[in-house]
Amino acid sequence: MSLDALRKLTDVGLFVADLERAIAFYGGTLGFELKRRDIGFAEFRTEGVGLALWEVEDVTQALELADTPRQGLAAMVAVRVETAEEVDALHDTLVAKGVTIVQAPMTHAWNARTTYFSDPDGNLWEIYAWVDAPRTI
């Protein structure tokens, strides 16, 4: 069978320590609409790829995984907006909501304006806009 099916990405799952805290952050602070709730699991509606949250203790037990503590950055969720001004405006909105900002807006050598924030579990999010053609080497 071809691996082409893997390119049809449908969901991104983030592992969280405390599902209630994560639901409050994504649903309350960020305004995502809760689509489905289960034991140790929550799924939110998005305009693209689905966003799922799975409590670490639950996924470890459900999949019979050994306890695997998280170490450092494992993944990043990115959202592209149309303009650099939108990056700055979203940053200001997140700050006003008390979200943990990892990096204030800046323009990088690869021609993107970005800002980075994290959720209560340290999952990294990027908001970016191209300010010129993406750098290619």
Same domain, 14 and 36: yes
Do 118 and 80 fall into the same domain? yes
Domain boundary among 66, 89, 120: 66
For 50, counting Cβ atoms within 10 Å of its Cβ (0-12 exposed, 13-18 middle, 19+ buried), the class is middle
Query: What confidence category does residue 64 fall into, taking pLDDT thresholds of 50, 70 and 90?
Result: confident
Sign of torsion over alpha carbons 125, 131, 134, 137? negative
Which pair of tokens denotes residue 100?
């943990």
What is the full DSSP assignment across 95-129?
HHTT-EEEEEEEE-TTSEEEEEEE-TT--EEEEEE
* Rounded distance between C-alpha atoms, residue 29 and residue 6, angstroms: 32
In this prediction, residue 56 has a pLDDT band, given cuts at 50, 70 and 90, of: confident
Domain range enclosing 107:
73-137
**pTM of the full predicted structure?**
0.86
Does residue 3 register a pLDDT over 90? no
Query: Does 37 score more than 80 pLDDT?
Result: yes
Residue 28's pLDDT band (cuts 50, 70, 90): very high
Residue 36 is encoded by which pair of tokens?
Answer: 């489905």
Find the range with the poorest average confidence among 1-10, 11-20, 91-100: 1-10
92 lies in the same domain as 60: no
Please check whether residues 6 and 61 belong to one and the same domain.
yes
**pLDDT at residue 73 is higher than 80:** no
Is 134 found in the same domain as 78?
yes
Is residue 69 over pLDDT 90?
A: no
Do residues 14 and 61 share a domain? yes
